[in-house]
Amino acid sequence: MKRPDLNRAVLLEARGVSRLYGPGKGCEAVSLRLHRGEVLGIVGESGSGKSTLLRLLAGMERPDAGQVIYRASVAQGLDAAGHEGELDLYAIGEARRRALLRMEWGLVHQNPRDGLRLGVSAGANIGERLMALGERHYGQLRAAGQDWMGRVELDPERIDDAPRTFSGGMQQRLQIARTLVTRPNLVFMDEPTGGLDVSVQARLLDMLRTLVRELGLSVILVTHDLAVARLLAHRLMVMRRGQVVETGLTDQILDDPQHAYTQLLVSSVLTP
């Protein structure tokens, strides 16, 4: 991925967030900044705390300490100066937090079944998020469903089919369409290609890369797969036992890791 413009405004910021389930288990005093239009990859071996951090950042689990700040004004492309539009995620109410996730953010789960509604059609899965934003016109909802099925390389003719009739890779594509149709200001992805066959993974990754670039998405990406991180992320944060051990541009981290743990990770010794 191209070198990002680090002068871009900060969209999401974590200040010393912690959530520990036991010593070294969870996430401890993590600070980070995600700039608008940037993909930040959080990498580390299984159990290093990546998913815990993602839940804290996405407003799904309250940290024991620290703050998560979302700059709504930056999301809307407005001036980043001042504190206007700055939301302290855990100081606002639960309803507002949930609304953010529904209306402004997107979440791609590792398992598409966690992100889809299996009882309704593919088209309804895509249209539903638009309806939450106020779109009521049936023809437009259907057109958006077909358009997005095409964009994620699903056959638009299958718009009325239930997701459970799709393969795992197709379900993941549908989940991505459902997430991105509303053009979210911030997207969280948790192992988006995990659990799929290698050949299916490669195509999906290629498609995701294109969408991220075309839409200029701001993404927090959790993955243990360094090949996925290499392809999608501008910057990486390496976690070990709940702490950040190294942060930097993706190519720097992967080609010239400084920390001994990152060196092991990159040399594949620790990757499953």
Ligand X SMILES: Nc1ncnc2c1ncn2[C@@H]1O[C@H](COP(=O)(O)OP(=O)(O)OP(=O)(O)O)[C@@H](O)[C@H]1O
- Residue 5: Cβ within 10 Å count: 11
Binding window for ligand X (CB under 6 A); candidates: 47-55, 96-104, 145-153, 226-234: 47-55
Q: How far is the CB of 19 from ligand X (least distance, A)?
A: 8
**How many amino acids of this chain bind ligand X (CB under 6 A)?**
12
Q: Does 179 bind ligand X (CB under 6 A)?
A: no
Q: Applying CB under 6 A, which of residues 109, 178, 224, 234 lies at the interface with ligand X?
A: 224
Look at strands 243-249 and 235-240 and give their pairing: antiparallel
What's the rounded Cα separation, in Å, for the pair 205 and 213? 12
Say how far apart CA 111 and CA 194 lie, in whole Å.
Answer: 8
Cα separation, 190 vs 60, in Å, equals 13
36 is a contact residue toward ligand X (CB under 6 A):
no
The only residue of 29, 31, 47, 270 in contact with ligand X, by rule CB under 6 A: 47
**Which pair of structure tokens corresponds to residue 11?**
């969209």
Nearer to ligand X, 26 or 66 (CB): 26
| Rounded-to-integer distance, Cα 192 and Cα 195, Å | 9
Cβ at position 261, least distance to ligand X in Å: 13
Q: Answer yes or no whether residue 21 interacts with ligand X by CB under 6 A.
A: yes
Residues that bind ligand X (CB under 6 A): 21, 25-26, 44, 46-52, 224
